[in-house]
Amino acid sequence: MSQEPMNDKLNDLWRSEASPSSNSQKEKEGEEMLTMVIERTRKFDRQILLRNVREVIAALIVTTVFAWFAWKAPSGLERIGDVTVAASGIWTAFYMLRFGSGPKALDPGVNLNAYGQLLHESYDRQARLARSVKYWYLLPMYVGMAVVSLGVWLRLHGSGHSGWPAFVSMAIITVASGAVWILNEVYAVRCLERLKRELKGME
């Protein structure tokens, strides 16, 4: 028997044994990757849920407090501003529940691409929410507080007192609103973009 046929048989045998092992390794890696993406999806879902609960509770507290302020307001303009802030709290709670939801649950039997797409869409949704925070979250409350401050200034000025407390409170509100805007539209969006890049690298 020549050496060449023997080598061919050995090569065939090696390929027949190596191929299942290689496929098995790829399947194992795919399962590990799917498990990782599923866990990341669930973790992100929990984070979004906790964030929504915190924001809704805070919004309802704002609504309650400023509704009471409106009831006790010493002037009509202050009352209008307090009502505006109270209404903005209700609006914020609704907006968070309607548009701030996390990823939808999927059947664990679906493939890696389906879960990856789900998580990618969730990142995009939260990024859009963060980019628009100045419109649906900050602006309504800021307008209400500006009206309240104007009402306070007019009341103090009309009674012969200094209107500086109104300006100081408005300055504090402006700084706080700017900080919230930066945290959302800059920091949060960058974090979400980084997560999207990491997810793309896993696919």
Q: What is the pLDDT of residue 104?
A: 63
CB proximity list for 75: less than 8 A, separation 6 or greater:
151, 154, 155
> Does the pLDDT value for residue 13 go beyond 50?
no
Instruction: Give 25's pLDDT tier (boundaries 50, 70, 90).
Output: low
Average pLDDT score, the chain: 82
* Residues above pLDDT 90, as percent of the chain: 51
pLDDT digits (tens, 9 = 90+) for 143-170: 999 999 999 999 998 888 888 989 999 9
What is the mean predicted confidence (pLDDT) over 179-196? 91
Rounded Cα distance, 36 and 99, in Å: 26
DSSP 105: P
CB neighbourhood size of 77 (10 A): 18
Rounded Cα distance, 30 and 111, in Å: 9
On whether the CB atoms of residues 126 and 192 are closer than 8 A, the answer is: yes
Q: Which of 20-24, 35-39, 95-99, 133-137 has the lowest mean pLDDT?
A: 20-24
On whether the CB atoms of residues 62 and 91 are closer than 8 A, the answer is: no
Q: What is the pLDDT of residue 175?
A: 97
Rounded Cα distance, 119 and 110, in Å: 13
Q: Which of 8-12, 113-117, 151-155, 161-165 has the lowest mean pLDDT?
A: 8-12
> Does the pLDDT value for residue 75 go beyond 80?
yes
CA 10 to chain centre: 58
Q: Is 162 helix (H, G, I), strand (E, B) or coil?
A: coil
> Does the pLDDT value for residue 141 go beyond 80?
yes
